[in-house]
Copies of this chain bind each other. A is one copy, B any other.
Amino acid sequence: MSSKGTAEKIIEAALHLVSEKGYTAATTKAIAELAGVNEVTIFRHFGNKRGILKAIIEQFSYYPLLQQELNKNVTWDLETDLLNFSIKHFNFLMSIKDFVMIGFKEAMQFPEINEEIANIPLHIKTELIHYFQEMHDRGKIREIDMEAAALSLIAINFGHFMSRARLGTFVSNMPNEELLKTSVSIFSRGLAP
């Protein structure tokens, strides 16, 4: 419960509250309360309210977490690889859910967060295109616009993520893996020659 633990508690509370209510509505008083810390402690640690989010941005560098996973276990079997990718992509988004939500809500006030979020699909797109190109050269994918294909797969996974993260089981209570399995089954068959 030293200094480090306190700062972390504040960051966690802020991450949760800001992602839920937005930056302006998440008051320092409420953040302090949720963190189980006196309000003054927030200012002693981070200077001002923006400082909390600034610390969050600096502390987390999310994308590398996903990138190093993606290139693992490539089998060059289309459906196997895409399912593997989709599950990782989906779980990655779920793991940074609060961060993504803040990025969406506070794009104006914190362009840095928004930019970091926006870069994720951009990076993934590049890697997917490479993969699709290689698969095409191996004769395992038909002639198609690779960029559009990559964007579509990203869109599916992101759509599933948003549905689950925001609406829970309201739209469907199908298990995530089953849903991804079917969507990848359709998608990979649609890509096959």
Contact = CB atoms under 8 A, between A and B. Distances in A.
Interface of A: 20-25, 104-109, 118, 121-122, 125, 144-145, 147-149, 151-152, 154-160, 162-163, 166-167, 170-172, 174, 178-179, 181-183, 185-191
A122 B167 CA distance: 11
B108 A21 contact: yes
Nearest to A26: B24
Contacts of A160: 151-152, 155
| Shortest 5 CB-CB contacts between residues of A and residues of B | A155-B159, A190-B190, A148-B182, A186-B190, A152-B183
B22 A105 contact: yes
Q: State the main secondary structure of chain A at its contact with B.
A: helix
A166 B22 contact: no
Nearest to A22: B22
Contacts of A118: 166-167, 170-171
Contacts of A125: 171-172
Contact of A186 (B105, B147, B187): B187
